[in-house]
Amino acid sequence: NAGVTQTPKFQVLKTGQSMTLQCAQDMNHEYMSWYRQDPGMGLRLIHYSVGAGITDQGEVPNGYNVSRSTTEDFPLRLLSAAPSQTSVYFCASSPPRQGKNYGYTFGSGTRLTVV
Amino acid sequence: DQQVKQNSPSLSVQEGRISILNCDYTNSMFDYFLWYKKYPAEGPTFLISISSIKDKNEDGRFTVFLNKSAKHLSLHIVPSQPGDSAVYFCAASASYDMRFGAGTRLTVKP
Q: What is the pLDDT of residue B94?
A: 85
CB contact under 8 A, B46 and A104: yes
Whether the per-residue pLDDT at B1 is higher than 80: the answer is no
- How far is residue A109 from each of residues A37, A62, B53, B95, B98, measured CA to CA in Å? 9, 20, 33, 24, 18
Q: What is the pLDDT of residue A2?
A: 74
CB contact under 8 A, A90 and B43: yes
CB B47 within 8 A of CB B110: no
If residue A83 lies in a helix (H) or strand (E), which one and from where to where?
none
A15 to chain B, closest Cα gap in Å: 25
Q: What is the pLDDT of residue A42?
A: 86
CB A92 within 8 A of CB A105: yes
Q: Residue B108 contacts by C-beta under 8 Å, 6 or more apart in sequence? A: B12, B13, B14, B15, B19, B80, B81, B82, B83, B84, B85
Instruction: Read off the pLDDT of each residue in B37-50 and give the average, rounded to a whole number.
Output: 93
Closest residue, chain A, to B44 (C-alpha): A106
Q: What is the pLDDT of residue A40?
A: 79
Whether the per-residue pLDDT at A98 is higher than 90: the answer is no
CB A69 within 8 A of CB A8: no
Q: What is the pLDDT of residues A46-77, one digit of tens each?
A: 999 999 999 999 999 999 999 999 999 999 99
Burial class for A59, CB neighbours closer than 10 Å (0-12, 13-18, 19+) = middle
Q: What is the pLDDT of residue A100?
A: 52
Q: What percent of chain A has pLDDT over 90?
A: 83
d(CA B75, CA A36): 24
Suggest the residue from A4, A31, A43, A89 to mutate for an interface test with chain B (most B CBs closer than 10 A): A43
> What mean pLDDT, rounded, does chain A reach?
92
